[in-house]
Structures are given as C-alpha cells and as structure tokens.
Amino acid sequence: MANNSWVKLYRSLLAWEWYHDIVTRDLFIHCLLKVNYKKTTWKGVEIEEGSFITSYENLANELNFSVRNIRTALKHLKATNEITTQTTNKYTVINVVNWGLYQVKEFTSDMQDSNQGDNQPTCNRHATDMQVTTVKEVKTIKKEKNVINKEVIPMTDFENIASYWNELVKDTNISKVRVKFSETRKKHVKARIKETDLKTFYEMMNKVIKSDFLCGNKSLDWIANFSWCINPENYMKILEGNYENKKGTNKNGKSQTLEQEIEQRAKEVEKYLGVKEE
C-alpha cells in the first residue's frame, strides 16, 4: 500500500459505540490505514482489496497494546460487523467491511500515476499533485456527498448497501435486492440516510434480520422486504425496536414470546367478556 495515499474519516465516528474504547478505536483506524486499496499477493497468498495480512502479535507491537487487548478489540469489531477475519496457524487476514467508504479513489489513482510518471523532484511533484488532486476531490465530494449539520455523509454507496443487505438475508425468508438500484429506490435510501446517517441505515438492516416477525419466522403470510423497510414510517419503527423479539413471562413463570403473550392476553379478555372459543 502506498504511504502517500490517504483515507477519509467521518465525524459520525464520534457517535460510534466503540469510540471511547481506546484499543478498539485505535485498532479500527489502524486497520483502515493498513488495508490494501488494490489486490496484491504476499508469499503466494492473494490479498483482496480492503484486506491485509497480520497477526495478533504484530498488531500488539504496532499499537503498543497487549495481545489480550488486541484479541478483545477484534471481537468487538467483528461483533458490530466492522471487520471480518480469517486465521491460519501462520497469520490472520483482516478485512474491513465497507472499506470503500473510507477510500479516496481519484486521489489514489492520481498518486499511482504520479509515481510512475515524470522526473520532477519528489517534493515538487507531490506538491503539484496535491493541488490538482485537491481540486478534483472537492468536486467529487460536492457531487457525491450531502453536508448535513456540518457532517459529510456518503450518499451514493448504493451497491455496498445492496450487497450488504443480500449478504444479511441470504439465510432468511427475506428476498434479496438488485445491486443496481432504481432511481426511485435511490431517492428513498438517500432520504433515510439524510434523516439519520449511513451507520444508522446499516443498523436498521441488522435489526431487520434479527426480528423473527420481519423475517417471517412466525408466519410466512407476510415477510418484510427492502422497500417496506425503507418506508419512512417503517424505517423509524425498526430503529425504535418495535419489531424486536421480546419475551414476557406467563403465569407459570416460563418465558414466552411477544406473540404468545398477546394471544394469552386476548384469551383473557375474551374470557372476561364471555366470548366462547370455537
């Protein structure tokens, strides 16, 4: 990975649940800086974009934390789907999920070209490229981003959103979506992200597949789909936890699902009103 390329960090990171966990926060930022921006190989092993090869010991030495701290931080990042890992007896491959959100593609391309190009002195060439690239990057940001409350939020990451959704629902009854969104669907997704932020949009998708009701696990008569979930009213209900699996306690002290509790209460009301069961 080129040392003169750079990554983007959004101010929404301040609201991230691991932000105040120093080890987890530092490790995640370290991973963003370490991942490869293009496919490469290491000792015959192909490393994909957004991934890098390391070990717990290397990470501990690079960040000046203990191996135990690194192990715990990696569990945190995997639990919230920030990274995935593949471990062998020799090394660990870390992949940053949605790593493309943090990349500056045009800048990287320009820097690669400049490294292969002219004979200008390094300092002069770097200064010139920085001026040209900065102008291009500003134009790109204006086209692809919306500024909300002084926070830059990516608005055109539709393919990543679709791929993430399809990966989440692959083992559920919920249908997948086309990776190429229609203009209408793009409009709805943009609106939901504008109302909250991109991270919250991903949180919404995670809440959907954890809900038995939305996945149709209780009844296949109705199953949520992507379009239903991005409806403004439904979107907020999902985030507020209206469809989370809830458990109550019946008269015998045994746990019961929300649906069982509702059914039990309905029977009690019918009994009180004198309604006979058929």
CA–CA gap between residue 183 and residue 252 (Å, rounded)? 53
Together in a domain, 191 and 231: yes
Together in a domain, 16 and 98: yes
Q: Is residue 5 part of a domain?
A: no
The predicted model gives 160-173 an average pLDDT of 87
**With pLDDT > 90 as the criterion, what percentage of the chain qualifies?**
22
Together in a domain, 16 and 96: yes
Q: Is residue 207 part of a domain?
A: yes
- DSSP string spanning the chain? --TT--B---GGGGG-TTTT-HHHHHHHHHHHHHS-SS-EEETTEEE-TTEEEE-HHHHHHHHT--HHHHHHHHHHHHHTTSEEEEE-SS-EEEEETTGGGGB-HHHHHHHHHHHHS----HHHHHHHHHHHHHHHHHHHHHHHEEEETTEEEE---HHHHHHHHHHHHTTSSSPP--SS--HHHHHHHHHHHHHS-HHHHHHHHHHHHT-TTTTTSS-TT----HHHHTSHHHHHHHHTTTTS--EEE-TTS-EEEHHHHHHHHHHHHHHHHTPPP-
Together in a domain, 164 and 202: yes
Together in a domain, 137 and 220: no
- The region of weakest confidence among 58-62, 173-177, 258-262 is 258-262
Together in a domain, 16 and 85: yes
Together in a domain, 140 and 191: no
Together in a domain, 123 and 80: no
Together in a domain, 177 and 159: yes
Structure confidence at residue 237 as a pLDDT band (50, 70, 90): very high
Q: Is residue 254 part of a domain?
A: no
Q: Where is the domain boundary, 102, 134, 166? A: 102
Together in a domain, 167 and 116: no
Structure confidence at residue 272 as a pLDDT band (50, 70, 90): low
Highest mean predicted confidence (pLDDT) among 85-89, 229-233, 248-252: 229-233
Question: pLDDT, tens digit, for every residue of 23-39?
Answer: 999 999 999 888 887 77
Question: pLDDT, tens digit, for every residue of 127-138?
Answer: 444 344 444 444
Higher pLDDT pick, 41 / 61: 61
Q: Is residue 218 part of a domain?
A: yes
Domain membership of residue 52 as a residue range:
11-102
Together in a domain, 15 and 98: yes
pLDDT of 239 reads 93
Together in a domain, 161 and 94: no
Q: Is residue 47 part of a domain?
A: yes
Q: Is residue 91 part of a domain?
A: yes
pLDDT of 91 reads 86
Structure confidence at residue 225 as a pLDDT band (50, 70, 90): very high
Q: Is the pLDDT of residue 84 over 80?
A: yes
What's the total number of domains in the chain? 3
Q: Is residue 274 part of a domain?
A: no
- The region of weakest confidence among 68-72, 82-86, 267-271 is 267-271
The predicted model gives 163-186 an average pLDDT of 88
The predicted model gives 227-254 an average pLDDT of 80
pLDDT of 101 reads 77
